[in-house]
Amino acid sequence: MEVIQGNIVNIFDNTIQWGEIIVKDGRIFTIKNFGEEKKGESYLLPGFVDAHVHIESSMLSPASFGRIALTHGTVGSVSDPHEIANVLGIDGVKYMIEDARQTPFKVSFGAPSCVPATSFETAGAVIDAKGIEELLNMPEISYLAEMMNFPGVIFKDEEVLAKLDIAKRLGKPIDGHAPAVRGEDAVKYFSQGITTDHECFTEEEALEKLKLGVKILIREGSAAKNFEALIPLAKEWSHQMMFCSDDKHPDELIKSHINALVARAIRAGVGLFEALRMASLNPVKHYSLPIGLLLEGDPADFIRVENLRDFHVLETFIDGKLVAERGQSKLSQTKSKVVNNFSAENLESESLKVLCQDPFKKMNVIKVNDGQLITDFVKRDMKLEGKEIVADIENDILKLAVYNRYTKNPVSVAFIQGFGLKEGAIASSVAHDSHNIIAVGVDDKAIADAVNLVIREKGGVSAVSQDKMGVLGLPIAGLMSNKEPQEVAADYEQIDRFSKDTLGATLTAPFMSLSFMALLVIPSLKLSDKGLFDGQKFKFVDLVEA
């Protein structure tokens, strides 16, 4: 038996009392309360849960992600492995499950519902209804992951409904993905058994869905930041809300995780116990997670924090074992094996040229919004050199390219506004959700050079200027590194800094924002390897207006 003392925070009866927790065989044997809270002493409380995350977006393997998350008091996650599934299919999902077993971090994986996300792009794999049934019958798969094909749900696509029916038959929760889906469409979408949404960008949209009985996840990731817009709702609706990161880059994960959102929520006026339940009880109950909540008989999963203001985590316990202490993992280092699906050949700069016969027409341009995944569909004048459309650096209109990494196909080219680059280019094989190679830059040579650096590494993120270049290799499916988390974070921070200080990128997270410019299921205008796509009308559009 082990005895652990502290101020015990009870999220069920809203009390804080000095006491001790007695742990036996990985479970809480007894909790003894001795009286009032002791000021100046640390606090014991349930560990936190990230209610929706794509681990691959951290650029870390599941084992490495878990080691870092534990240092911030996150004891488990609800994880959708659809990034690697788009590259390697069901084998990719199985890889994530196997790698996660290297640490005690409690990952609950979902069956990726949309692989590929749409039929308007080329992915490395397909998971149909038969594949969904195979996955949902695995004990490690606890839910059907976000149903991104909301038009398919609303208009009752047979394959989409078949996947939903399998989850309902097996009694597995179904996660939603319904950006800007309102009114009758929202009713149709959520009436199919879909119970959550993490894609609300406004308080009004989230409130409408809360009133439909939907669980709303407040997302605060590296690219999409919806905390400020949605947190006011938690003062009344906390019982129906959770916290998630969705996508979090390694340099940010090293610094904080769900603990920071709890602290921010309390500063924003959400009650202490309400915020703690959003970070622990709500996801544990909704997804039936095997995670303890500081009750007698529960798995001994809990954390010790210095105070109830900033939630600086002193210790993290999983099944009664101390796994992290004062920001340092107590777990041994692991090495993740490399798996991949990468066939791209070098890109020639000549293939990026775009010609136009009518200089008086406008072109359709993607306008990026910092901190959001939604883009604007705008029309802009072309800048021409002869008959060639080129980047207009003065007006921040740059060339965007998506290059198929699985089969030999022509490169897809469009224009984008909002990145702020003054020279060079950046590229990435992290390009949601099919994960082809995506690049943005001021000229064709720079774009080709950046893309070819990624190809050389068989996956990664790169940046090139007139006289310098850098690349962070991501050999695991072109999405993740098998290096130590601190090394990955430092390398990423360096290339991120290079993109801003040298190239002039003005976005908060340029690589994360770039990675979502091919995600067709989030409006308004995106680019796939097959062409420019209107995410509201769900169809391709021409670069130059007709």
Per-residue confidence (pLDDT) for residue 545, from 0 to 100: 83
pLDDT mean over 36-44: 96
Query: To the nearest whole number, what is the mean pLDDT of the chain?
Result: 97
Write the DSSP assignment of 490-533 as a string of letters.
HHHHHHHHHHHHTT---SSSHHHHHHTTT-TTSSSEEEETTEEE
Angle at the Cα of 418 (from 415 to 422), degrees rounded to 5? 85
Torsion over CA: 510, 515, 518, 522 (sign): negative
Amino acid at 152: G
Report the residue count for the chain: 546
Superfamily of domain 48-291: Metal-dependent hydrolases (3.20.20.140)
Per-residue confidence (pLDDT) for residue 371, from 0 to 100: 87
Per-residue confidence (pLDDT) for residue 222, from 0 to 100: 86
| Closest by CA position to 122, among listed 534, 407, 344, 521 | 407
Please name the residues in contact with 261: beta carbons below 8 A apart, sequence gap of 6 or more.
218, 220, 227, 243, 279
Per-residue confidence (pLDDT) for residue 546, from 0 to 100: 73
- Per-residue pLDDT at 509 exceeds 90: yes
Three-state SS string over 89-134 comes to CHHHHHHHHHHHCCCCCEEEEEECCCECCCCCCCCCCCECHHHHHH
Is residue 415 helix, strand or coil? strand
pLDDT mean over 404-432: 98
pTM of the model: 0.95
Write down the domain spans for the chain.
48-291, 349-545
- Block residue for tokens 């009004």: 204
pLDDT in tens, 352-405: 999 997 888 999 999 999 989 999 999 999 999 999 999 999 999 999 999 999
The two tokens of residue 272 are: 């202490």
Q: What does the alpha-carbon distance between residue 132 and residue 114 come to, in Å, rounded to a whole number?
A: 10
pLDDT mean over 511-522: 95
Q: Both ends of the chain: CA-CA distance in Å?
A: 75
Confidence of residue 86 (pLDDT cuts 50, 70, 90): very high
Per-residue confidence (pLDDT) for residue 358, from 0 to 100: 86
| Closest by CA position to 92, among listed 150, 143, 135, 28 | 135
Per-residue confidence (pLDDT) for residue 260, from 0 to 100: 98
The two tokens of residue 475 are: 């050999």
Per-residue confidence (pLDDT) for residue 4, from 0 to 100: 98
- Per-residue pLDDT at 192 exceeds 90: yes
- Say how many CA atoms lie within 13 Å of 477 toward its Cβ: 31
How much of the chain is helix, strand and coil, in % rounded to 5? 30, 30, 40
Q: Nearest 5°: phi and psi at 173?
A: -60, 155
Parallel, antiparallel or unpaired: strands 196-197 and 215-219: parallel
- Per-residue pLDDT at 186 exceeds 80: yes
| Closest by CA position to 33, among listed 53, 13, 50 | 13
Per-residue confidence (pLDDT) for residue 333, from 0 to 100: 86
Number of other residues whose CB lies within 10 A of the CB of residue 395: 12
Strand order from edge to edge, sheet including 141-147: 48-53, 74-79, 106-111, 141-147, 174-176
pLDDT in tens, 210-256: 999 999 999 999 878 999 999 999 999 999 999 999 999 999 999 99
- Block residue for tokens 């989409």: 160
